[in-house]
Amino acid sequence: MISMWKIIFERNFGTMPKVLVTGASGLLGRAILALLKEENWNVVGLGYSRISQGLIKCDLRDREAVSALLKKEKPDFIIHCAAERAPDKVENHYEETVLLNVKATEYLASIAKELNSRLIYISTDYVFDGVNPPYKIDDKPNPLNKYGQSKLEGEKATMEVNPDACILRIPILYGPVERIDESAVTVLLNCIKDKKPITLSHYEKRYPVNVRDIAKILRDLIMKIDKDPSISGIFQWSGKERLTKYEMAMLIAEGLNLPFDHISPDDKAVSGASRPYNALMDNSRLEELGISHHTGFKEGIKACLEFLEYF
């Protein structure tokens, strides 16, 4: 069955572009792949450590393999999701992280430019220090941890070799998970189910986004770029609800009708890698293009968790 999106796109813009997604086995990559496939886009997914049916295995740190694959696939757009995203892990394995988050990104951007493929690099609100929100796209980044630094270096590398590329900074994500700890949001269910007294951070302010919403934003951005190739540079998206981890857990418990009285708020900063206090980003550049998608957190997280076998 031909999707309405395919009909609309081809009527207004011509042939559907070919989209290649790196990190397609991850939380965000799966959502992008699923949405585009539902709408009959020509889409290819790359993975490495987790390869499911239909994905192509590719080590993005292998320049020759990446070059050969991209020259074979010839995508019109590349959505670069693959990255090491765990801040505490990055603190202890920074050199390894740089190979993927910076070096592989730089080479991918270079090959994309050579092939006239438009690159969209997925970055993070952790490029900011969280002291003076909301952050506009041209505010000076000041990452507090090595993860944020690696993503900022990835941004710089992308734009230096490929000024026509786009960068999309996003906050903490949640969505349909393959394991409960795949998202820093869904893992909160462990604390709720365990029923042992515990404290959760009620300090850092976060703006969680459903991966399906980011997938829709990326789809819409591709359509805008395809119509107007001059579109490039930095875009940002923060969710519409400001929540601490404690408040997220409370909404999860309410949505699933689980007891919550064993969990207490902790008003101190979390241990481990430093996190920004409030990294709210200004969404206006996307909104000015008519791009905006938001799923209410309580509704979205319930849909993600209530059918898990774990639950």
**Cβ-count burial of 27 within 10 angstroms (0-12 exposed, 13-18 middle, 19+ buried)?**
buried
- Comparing CA positions, the residue from 94, 97, 119, 99 lying closest to residue 109 is 119
Residue with tokens 């989209």: 19
| Cβ partners under 8 Å of residue 99, min gap 6 | 61
The whole-angstrom distance between residue 305's C-alpha and the CA centroid of its chain comes to: 19
Beta-ladder partners of 78: 20, 119
Inter-residue contact 248 to 100 (CB < 8 Å): no
Which residue, chain included where needed, has tokens 């609309």? 8
Under 8 Å between Cβ of 209 and 171: yes
d(CA 102, CA 143): 15
Alpha-carbon distances, residue 52 vs 3, 181, 283, 304 (angstroms): 24, 19, 34, 20
SS3 content of the chain, % helix, strand, coil (to 5): 40, 15, 40
Cβ-contact 129, 143 below 8 angstroms: yes
Which one, of 193, 172, 176, lies nearest residue 308 by Cα?
176
Residue in the block written with tokens 């790196």: 22
Burial tier of 189 (Cβ tally within 10 Å: 0-12, 13-18, 19+)? buried
Active site residues: 147
DSSP-derived letter for residue 265 is E
